[in-house]
Chains A and B, each alone.
Chain A
Amino acid sequence: MKLVTAIIKPFTLDDVKSSLEQLGVLGMTVSEVQGYGRQKGHTEVYRGAEYSVDFVPKIKVEVVVDDNAVEKVLEAVVEAARTGKIGDGKVWVTPVDTVVRVRTGERGSDAL
C-alpha cells in the first residue's frame, strides 16, 4: 500500500475529491495547512502598508491506496489540481507498512 499526500490550492479540493471518488477511493483525510515552495509567498497591501505573506494557505489531502491504483490516483489528483499557474502544489507517494481498521481489526488492503 501507498500513502498519497497532495498539497493543493484550496479551491481545487472539490475537483480533486470528486475525481478520487470516481476512481473508487473510499476515504481521505483533509487538513488546512500553510507553507511555501519556490513561489516564496506573496505581498499584500493593507491600510497603506505592504506586507510579505510567507506562508500561503493550502489544503493537504491524504489517501492510502493499493499499490496497483497508485498511478491512476496520482494522475487524477494532478489533473484535477492543475491550473498551470505558480503555486499549484505538490503530490508525493510514500510506502505504508500496514493499515488496521479499528472496528473489526482487519489488516492491509481489506482495511482500506
Chain B
Amino acid sequence: MDTGDTAWVLISAALVLLMTPGLAFFYGGMVRSKSVLNMMMMSLGAMAVVGVLWVLFGYSTAFGADVGAGLLGKPFEFFGLSGLLAPESLALPAKIPSTVFVAFQAMFAIITVALISGAIADRARFGPWLLFAGLWATVVYFPVAHWVFDFDGKDEAGNVVDPGGWIANKLLAIDFAGGTAVHINAGAAGLALALVLGKRVGWPKEPMKPHSLPLVVLGAGLLWFGWFGFNAGSALGANATAGVTFINTLVATCAAMLGWMLTERIRDGKATTLGAASGVIAGLVAITPACSSVTPIGAIAIGAITGVLCALAVSLKYRLGFDDSLDVVGVHLVGGLSGTILIGLFASDAAPAKINGLFYGGGVDQLWRQAVGAFAVLAYSFVLSLLLGYLVKFTVGFRASEEAEVASIDEAEHAERAYEYGSLTSARGTGKASVAAGATAVLEGSNKK
C-alpha cells in the first residue's frame, strides 16, 4: 500500500461526491423558481439510493469476478463489501486499499444517475424517480461500469487471474474516467426518459428560462472543482498521470467555454452566462475519457471542438421535438461521444496512455475501437432506459399531474417552496395552527412518560 496514493484517492473520492450537490445547484438554477427543490431532490435522491445499492451489490456487480464474456461481475461476491475490509486486500493494480477504490467508484455511480434527472425537469414524481434510479443503477450502470472500468487482474507473470470487462480488456477502447460509462450512458438514458415522460406543459412555446444563473455558475464551479478528483483521481495514485490528466482537465474546459461562447455570439448575438457554464460542463465531459491519452494541445482541440458542437447540439431538441429540459443529451451524450471518439484522432504516445491516434500516425485502429465502445454503451443504455422508464410509467406512474406541474411541483411533491416570500396578506396570520395527527400522537406519548 502507498500512503500518498491512498490519501490522493480518498480526497478525490470526496471531490467527486461534491459534484452531485454541485449538480443539484447547476440543475436547480436552470429550472423555473417553482420546481427548484424537486430538481435538487432528484440529485440528492440519487445519492441516497445509489450509495446504499453500491455497498450492497453495486460494487460487486461492477468489479466482482467476471461471470463470462466481460459483461458483468458476480453481484454477490462482495455483498455488503464482505471480504474487502481487511487491510491486505488491495485493488489491483493500484497500491490502495480496496475500500478506498470502492469509495471512489461509488461517487461515479451516484453522479451518473443524478445526471439523467436534467432531462425530466419540472415534471417527474419523486418516488418513481427513486425507483427508476435504483433500477437503472442495477441494470445499466453497474454492468457498464464493469465493461469500462474493471481491468483484468494479473499475477506477477502477467497472466490474467481476474478477468474484467470487455470494453477495457478486449476492445481496448480508451475511456480514462468515464466518457462512455458516465456521460454517454447518462445522456442516452436522459434521451430515453425525455421520450417516456413527454414534454412539459407549455414547451417549447414558453421560454422557461433559468430562474437563477448565479446558482448555475455556483454549480458549474463546484462541478469543475470536483472534476479534478474525477479525472486526476482516476490515475488511482499521486503520480505523473494525475498531473497530466489534471492539466488537461483544466485546459480543455477553458477551450470549450471559449468555443461555446463564440458559437452563441455568432448564432444568437450574445454570449450568455448559461452558455459559459454549459461550455464548462461540455469541456469537462469531453476530456473525461481523453485526459490520459492526449497532450495539452490535443486537450485544447478536443475542448474547443466539443464546445462548438454541444452549443449547436442543444438547439436540436427544438427541431426534433423532445423536451430534454436541461440538455443532458446536448451536453453529456454529444460531449461524451465527441470526447470518446476524438481520442481516435488526437491520442498521442507522449501522453500516459501511450497510444497514437490518426493525427499522430497511429492509423484508424484506435478510432474504430473508440467508436464501437461509444455506440455499444449508447445503444445498451438507450434501450434499457426506455424499457425501465416505461416499466415505472405503467406500474406506479412517473409523471406529476398537469395541475401540480403548472402550480408548483415543489409544493405538490415536497410540500415546500424554494423561495418562501412573506406576503402582505399573511402578515397577521389568517390561518389556524394545529399539529399534524401523527405528530400529536408522538407528543401525547412523550407526555405520558
Is B94 an interface position by the 8 A CB rule? no
Structural contact, A44 and B207, CB atoms closer than 8 A: yes
Most buried by B among A45, A46, A51: A46
Q: List 15 A-B contacts (CB under 8 A).
A: A45-B268, A46-B207, A47-B264, A47-B268, A47-B314, A47-B315, A48-B267, A48-B311, A48-B314, A48-B315, A48-B318, A49-B204, A49-B318, A51-B206, A52-B205
A8 to B34, CA, bound (A): 30
Is B272 an interface position by the 8 A CB rule? yes
**What chain B residues lie within 8 Å of A51 (beta carbons)?**
205-207
Interface size class of A (residues with CB under 8 A): under 10
**What chain A residues lie within 8 Å of B272 (beta carbons)?**
46-47
Q: With A49-B204, A49-B207, A49-B315 given, name 10 new contacts (CB 8 A).
A: A45-B269, A46-B207, A47-B264, A47-B274, A47-B275, A48-B268, A48-B311, A48-B314, A48-B315, A53-B207
**What chain A residues lie within 8 Å of B312 (beta carbons)?**
48
**What chain A residues lie within 8 Å of B206 (beta carbons)?**
51
A48 to B204, CA, bound (A): 12
**What chain B residues lie within 8 Å of A44 (beta carbons)?**
207
Structural contact, B204 and A46, CB atoms closer than 8 A: no
Is B170 an interface position by the 8 A CB rule? no
Question: B-facing mask of A48-84, CB < 8 A → 1, else 0?
Answer: 1101110000000000000000000000000000000
- Distance between A26 CB and nearest chain B CB, rounded to angstroms: 24
A46 to B272, CA, bound (A): 9
A90 to B318, CA, bound (A): 37
Is B209 an interface position by the 8 A CB rule? yes
Most buried by A among B205, B264, B268, B275: B268
Q: Which residue of A lies closest to B208 (CB)?
A: A51
Q: Which residues of A come within 8 Å of B, CB atoms?
A: 44-49, 51-53
- Distance between A34 CB and nearest chain B CB, rounded to angstroms: 14
A48 to B324, CA, bound (A): 14
The 5 closest A-B pairs by CB, nearest first: A48-B315, A51-B207, A45-B268, A49-B318, A48-B314
A49 to B327, CA, bound (A): 13
- Distance between A59 CB and nearest chain B CB, rounded to angstroms: 20
A90 to B30, CA, bound (A): 36
A48 to B318, CA, bound (A): 9
Q: Which residue of B lies closest to A44 (CB)?
A: B207
A48 to B272, CA, bound (A): 11
**What chain A residues lie within 8 Å of B314 (beta carbons)?**
47-48
Most buried by B among A47, A49, A51: A47
- Distance between B213 CB and nearest chain A CB, rounded to angstroms: 12
**What chain B residues lie within 8 Å of A45 (beta carbons)?**
268-269
Q: Which residue of A lies closest to B317 (CB)?
A: A49
**What chain B residues lie within 8 Å of A47 (beta carbons)?**
264, 268, 272, 274-275, 314-315
A53 to B264, CA, bound (A): 20
Q: Which residue of B lies closest to A53 (CB)?
A: B207
